[in-house]
Amino acid sequence: MKRIYFIVVISGLWLGGALPLFSQYVPTHITNEGIYLFLDELATKKVIDLCSLVKPYSRQTIAEKLRKADSLRTGLSSRQQSELDFYLKDYMKELPGPDPHVRATSWFWQKNHGNKRFDVFHYRDSLFQITVNPILGSDVWVNSNGSFYHWWNGVEAWSCAGRFGIWASLRDNHESVELTARDFQNQRTGGSNFKIFSGGKRDYWELRGGITYAWDWGHVGLIMGQFAWGENNAGSNIYSGRTPAFPRIELSMDPVDWFRFTYVHGALISEVVDSSLSFYTTTAYGTDYREVYHPKYLAANLFTFIPWTGLQLSVGNSVVYDYRHPHAAFLLPVAFYKAIDHTLNARIDNMNSQLFLSVSSRNLRDFHFYGTVFLDEVAVDRIFDRQEFNFVSYKAGLATTILPDARIVAEYTWTNALTFMHNIPTTTFESNQYNLGHYLEDNAKDLYVGIAYRPFRTLNIKSYINHAVKGPDHTEMGTDRLGIVPFDPIVWKSVRFGLLANLQVINDLCIRLGYEWRDVTGEQEYLDRWTPEVYHGQTGTVRIGVNFGF
């Protein structure tokens, strides 16, 4: 017994990280645009190596990239050096320092220790650290259709103990009109369980959190939050990251310089009522019908190969399935799920499987070339038949930093009809009825061109034009699946031109001011379904916003 007890104690100390270890996984949310753009700029300048296919990045990863850039700071511009120092004030907390026994328990931390960002509460010693901050923000828009707003409030906290990372954030969202809806063709993060008040005001909660165990070349954990797969600057066409948060098991490994692997198994929210499990209950308050949803799950993996620095080739696949419980076969991280599906569901309807490919090249300094392909269903004989079309989404893009302190982006997306769609409600490529793929979904094409100028530290002035069109929803119409000509007819069209300035004053405190002209037209049925009413027709919208936290 003593020997067993000794082994258990030693194992616990090792797993818990009783020694000062700095391998933890705590993500920086994908809405924290400033740090993501800065890392992308450094990678395009060939200052650092970066795999931008999978987001979010961990705080540890960001800290290591910043430290690498700091070692090469003589090659950076004065603005880049200033921005590097700015972000190091935050992410230096992930790096071992000369004094690991730093304590902070008051609002005067920033005054006494100017090399660290402001946090409402921060504590750190050789084993444990924790940070707590409020979340506050508001955006107000004004156009010819009136004024409307979105404001949010909450709190977030993250901590590390040895190799464990634990974090949570809770925010309460308030909209004056309907801006966030499942069918709206925009990139707003989705919400669920809306509470609707008189006048159209809406409230909804959002929770993110997780617990992970990390080591030098990977992590595993239980996470609830958004994630995005796919190289992009204007909306990914693999996993967009705009769905409401859902729980997932995540495994990520990069054991060698030339290979990395990511696997997720998520519990999606079907919002399809299972009548066999739903029931009536009678209490002193009366009789109520207790609805229970059908379960649905997502299994996905992604393999990235790096034949030489700057070039990344990726392939992955996924499946959405609706067994009563997670199936052991889809818990296999390294698998081709369509083949497993055909075995498990031989001679009956299969589950919903997908395949995706990606290429990314930063081999030419100041240029990032990228492309992704999402294959929902492909038949070889259709490739050579002009009368039929496969269910495929293509994206190609270019980002360049060839101009000083500027970044130019051009991106084009083409998605055939029925891509991302499925006819079985419990196996749709959705969670909470929000599509997991490109924000325009199927039967759409999208052109985005933008230029961003950064004259000084953390000020980003972006000008852009976006042209998007969509054809009819053939899933709803019940059209025959083969031979659908994309965008015939065009039933919805959106043209946007905008100018937006965003300044991060201190870490996590952002202010923004912008103007956007829109012309959104189409058949009334689709116009009402795909566009918030405040943006119907031609509008010129002024936007002002501020937030602390993301």
Domain extents in the chain: 20-548
The closest alpha carbon to 460, from 392, 396, 409, 533, belongs to 409
CA dihedral 363, 187, 204, 28 (to 10 degrees): 10
342 forms beta bridges with none
Please list, in sequence order, all residues whose beta carbon lies within 8 angstroms of the beta carbon of residue 137, skipping any fewer than 6 positions away. Answer: 151, 152, 153, 545, 546, 547, 548, 549
Residue 60 has what pLDDT? Answer: 96
Determine contact, residues 230/358, Cβ cutoff 8 Å: yes
Cα 177 from Cα 169, distance rounded (Å): 25
DSSP label of 93: G
The CATH number of 20-548 is which of 3.40.47.10, 2.40.37.20, 2.60.120.260, 2.40.160.130? 2.40.160.130
The closest alpha carbon to 178, from 149, 158, 154, belongs to 149
Cα 80 from Cα 91, distance rounded (Å): 16
DSSP H or E run through 169: strand 164-175
Please list, in sequence order, all residues whose beta carbon lies within 8 angstroms of the beta carbon of residue 268, skipping any fewer than 6 positions away. Answer: 246, 296, 297, 298, 320, 430, 431
Coil, strand or helix: which one is 382?
A: helix
Cα 456 from Cα 501, distance rounded (Å): 12
Determine contact, residues 251/262, Cβ cutoff 8 Å: yes
Those residues of the chain that have pLDDT short of 50 are 1-2, 4-21, 98-113
CB-facing half-sphere around the CA of 300: CA atoms within 13 A: 27
Q: What is the pTM of this model?
A: 0.92
Residue 96 has what pLDDT? Answer: 75
Q: Hey, CA dihedral for 361, 362, 364, 368, is it positive or negative?
A: positive
| Angle, vertex CA 47, rays to CA 42 and CA 50, nearest 5 | 65
SS (H, E, C) 222-263: EEEECCEECCCCCCCCCECCCCCCEEEEEEEEEEECCEEEEE
H-type alpha helices, 319-365: 337-344
The residue behind tokens 């599509």 is 435
Q: What region does 60 belong to: left with phi over 0, alpha with psi -120 to 50, or beta?
A: alpha
Cα 223 from Cα 243, distance rounded (Å): 14
Coil, strand or helix: which one is 541?
A: strand
The closest alpha carbon to 375, from 317, 440, 301, belongs to 317
Task: Please tell me whether the peptide bond between 489 and the residue prior to it is cis, using omega within 30 degrees of 0.
Answer: yes
Please list, in sequence order, all residues whose beta carbon lies within 8 angstroms of the beta carbon of residue 22, skipping any fewer than 6 positions away. Answer: 60, 94, 95, 96
In angstroms and rounded to an integer, the radius of gyration of the C-alpha atoms of the chain is: 24
Strands (E), 429-534: 430-431, 434-435, 444-453, 459-470, 492-506, 509-522
The residue behind tokens 């509460």 is 121
Both tokens of 322, joined, read 């609706």
C-beta neighbour count of 357 within 10 angstroms: 15
Cα 161 from Cα 246, distance rounded (Å): 25
